[in-house]
Chain A
Amino acid sequence: MIVETKSSPDAARLVTPTMLVLWLVLATVPLWITRIGLYPYLGIEILIWSLYALAFNLVLGTAGLPSFGHGAYFGIGAYAFGLCQLEIVANLWICLIAAAAVAGLAGVLVALFISHRRGIYYAFMTIAFGQIFWTLAIKSHRITGGEDGLLKIKRLPADFGLVSFDLTDNVAFYYFVLAVFAVGTAALWRLVNSPYGRVVAAIRQSEVRASHLGYNVWLYKVAVFALSAAVSGFAGGLFAMAQLAAFPDVMSLHQSGYVVMMTLVGGGLVSFWGPVIGVFLFLTARDVIGALTNAWMLYFGLLFIAIVLFRPEGIAGAISAAVQQHSLGALRQRSTSAMRLLFGSGR
């Protein structure tokens, strides 16, 4: 995180007050969401994409590495979940682990090739690899179903030995995903505040310095990318369950762009929760504005441009700036670091 937690005891906590409040609010969603004209499935999507965006932000926000092909790992997770269930064993836990493992493996593979790069070169290589995976997904018709998708994926029951929960109903599945989301957010929060997370954040600020302090920068970059890919894949597995299918479109370049947009709009560069804010806005805008006009992406695109121009730290940044009454100078400095992340210091 660029926003420092030095004076806050939250950094040392496993579960923070913010988390508790968020979980509790989310737990009430099925009680009222239909009353405001929306539906529980939107809640499911928001939670899954939030987990995905938080995982993505390990790479973008914490490590400062511009990965623009992250949809690949989300998609690979979805396919791995489906194929595990259809071809190997129809067990929820095994298939979710398979989703994370296969996506993580793909992440390791890619990371081995790109982790000596930074900046725009890094970005290009993530795109190239993303396109390769996307093409493979479309072309391997016999395995993935090609453009038709991998169909007939089931929402396997959540089996805890003594009790087993049926997840076919959207509200039941929502609560399952919420439980996973709660564990996931606590784990990711701990991760970014662990010694490992601090090293990765240090590497974002200066690879040269980190290496001269004795940190194997390359290895940390490989590891954070792989971890991020694994959690993205895990979220992808949940997404396959939600959709009852896996499709190649989440792996496409433009859908990989969505998660970047969500994360930046929300303020992932300055706040742990930024990606969640971004996902919430993006998906609600899609449904609410999308119900009125087909051109909802136009409006979200305009919001994106406005934020990049005027609030490069995203909504979380604007909120924290309002709260802490940061000086303009500090804000501007942070926004230049956001810009540098994307366009500068490549080698």
Chain B
Amino acid sequence: MNMIEAAAVHVRFGDRVVLESVDLAVAEGEFHGVMGPNGAGKTTFFNVLTGRVKPNRGRVLLAGEDVTGLSPHRIAAKGIARSFQIMTLFDEFSARDNVMMGLPEFRARGHDIARAAAGDGRFAAKSSEALAAVGLADKGDIRAKDLSYGDRRALEIAVALAQAPRVLCLDEPTSGLGSDGVQRLAALIARLKRRLTIVAIEHDMEFLFSLADRISVIHWGQVVARGTPHELQQNEWVRRSNLGKFA
């Protein structure tokens, strides 16, 4: 079964059509890459998947369940996690507390006013686990805003992992990372592959082509090409438009 599916998603802002009609079907455990030039509507498409933007037409299905137009917190609770192109961590919180906010068991206790958040060992253990997964094991007590750029990117992924999501949407996860950072991220994703369904918007061709099972190219609000990395490299349209260059 498809873990996440979008059918004929159409989005307009005023009279500006940003997504004409986008289809996507990602199987469970698949790593699906999304590429396309700036302004193509990739982030907007993620915003539709995660409930930030309600599509004017079209549907979004999560494991067969229609989640179109649900609010972000509902969709998140159903198991879609996302990272952001422009990072929005809880800057004043420690790395560990950022991760803690992502834990479903913490969220379930979010209305609890009578207990201390800090006293709960379960939260701390789970948070440490997610931090360790992204190589931040010893940086849990550092405030998010005092972390290096690369560590902040890693923390974003740790938060997403803490959510134990069914689908992970990554919006340009390598952006701003040095080649070291990209390699570490690639290694992390390689470890997560198969265990998670991942949709990743990415400009880094090498990164995407080496990791993705399939790739969709979005341009002018539509999917103009789709296939395995190998197929895409053969694709006449992709070669002619030389997407690799201006992406």
Contacts and interface: CB of A to CB of B under 8 A. Distances in A.
Contact of A209 (B90, B111, B117, B143): B90
A208 B102 CA distance: 13
Given A190-B116, A212-B50, A196 B88 contact: no
A11 B92 contact: no
Given A2-B92, A194-B116, A213 B97 contact: no
A146 to B, nearest CB: 38
B77 A214 contact: yes
Contacts of B94: 4, 6
A223 B113 CA distance: 11
Interface string A200-240: 01100110111111111100100100000000000000000
Nearest to A191: B113
Q: How large is the interface on A (under 10, 10 to 19, 20 to 34, 35 or more residues)?
A: 35 or more
A190 B116 CA distance: 6
Nearest to A209: B88
A7 B110 contact: no
A212 B72 contact: yes
Contact of B117 (A14, A194, A214, A216): A194
A197 interface: yes
Nearest to A189: B116
B212 to A, nearest CB: 23
Contacts of A213: 73, 76, 101-102, 107, 159, 163
Interface in A78-135: none
A213 B82 CA distance: 9
B111 A196 contact: yes
B114 A190 contact: yes
A28 interface: no
A338 interface: no
Given A198-B100, A208-B84, A213-B159, 16 more contacts: A4-B93, A5-B118, A6-B96, A11-B116, A190-B114, A193-B116, A193-B117, A194-B116, A195-B111, A195-B117, A201-B90, A201-B93, A206-B90, A211-B76, A213-B163, A216-B73
9 contacts: A4-B94, A5-B118, A190-B113, A194-B113, A195-B115, A195-B117, A202-B93, A205-B92, A212-B72
